[in-house]
A and B are shown apart, each in its own frame.
Chain A
Amino acid sequence: MVRALINCPKTAKKGEVIEIKTLISHVMETGYRPGADGKVVPRDILRRFTCRYAGQEVFSADLFPAVAANPFISFTTVATASGTLSFTWDGDNGFTQTETVAITVT
């Protein structure tokens, strides 16, 4: 498990558009960069990010090596009902991490 930060309002009004900011600690090694020994460092990136709202996918992204280290992704979603938002990152070398955040919708 690596450190992931999720900035998402804890409460929202029904129908309100909320902005979610996510940041995860990851090197996003491009696979184009030589290391200290002169050999190219093998690629190690996060390839996919998915956000599910109460189990339903509301946002996803395919990431490429050009995304900066410690990928920051910010997007919006409509607060429909109280529930959990889950965030999943999948990457090279079998990397996978899921974080969840609860939201109360009034």
Chain B
Amino acid sequence: MNRLQVTRRTALIGSMSAASLLVLRPAAFATPTELAGAIAEFTGNQPVQRGRITLDLSPLVENGNSVSVSVKDDSPMTQQDHVTAIALFTEQNPQPNVIIARLGPRAGRAFLNTRMRLATSQKVVAVAGFSDGTFWSDQVEVIVTLAACVE
């Protein structure tokens, strides 16, 4: 008789089951642990310091399917002092890796520009490896209004 009526109780039960569905859904997103793991794999467990490099990425992204992102560094790129690798990672894409670029003194400038996907609003991390064995990073929190389709 009142089967179709939405009472407070049914509404609550409904919202709870919807919430549990969200929680129980197979994890389609990487976790901060996976992000740390991917960075550790890239650096070979070397410590990563903040600074030196610049990650250039719009903090407000309208379309997560194609987001221009660039990484720069003022390294002189000489034989003695150069950037050997630049990598990009995300916190909540299905997998944390985005791109790992290998360069050297022949690059002339430490610079990389590409376009990436963002599954949701999240943190993007750039890590660069230097010829002296150190690793430096920069990160940007981005808000994505239209996410890249992962589901």
Contact = CB atoms under 8 A, between A and B. Distances in A.
Interface of A: 17-19, 21, 30, 32-34, 53, 56, 58-69, 71-78, 80
A67 B114 contact: yes
B60 interface: no
Specify which of A62, A64, A76, A80 lies most central, judged by the most chain B CB atoms within 10 Å of its CB. A64
Nearest to B100: A62
Interface in B36-70: 65-67, 70
A67 B117 CA distance: 6
Given A17-B109, A62-B100, A69-B65, A33 B95 contact: no
Looking at chain A's contact residues, is the secondary structure mostly helix, strand, loop, or mixed? strand
Size bin of chain B's contact surface: 20 to 34
16 contacts: A17-B109, A18-B108, A30-B150, A32-B151, A33-B151, A58-B103, A58-B104, A59-B106, A62-B97, A62-B99, A66-B116, A67-B116, A68-B148, A75-B111, A76-B107, A78-B107
A59 B102 contact: yes
A73 to B, nearest CB: 5
Contacts of A80: 106
A75 B28 CA distance: 31
Contacts of A33: 149-151
Contacts of A63: 99
A59 B70 CA distance: 16
B106 A67 contact: no
Contacts of B114: 67-68, 71-74
Contacts of A73: 101, 112-114
Nearest to A62: B100
Nearest to A21: B113
B137 interface: no
Given A30-B94, A61-B100, A78-B107, 4 more contacts: A61-B102, A74-B112, A75-B101, A76-B108
A8 to B, nearest CB: 14
B90 interface: yes
B120 interface: no
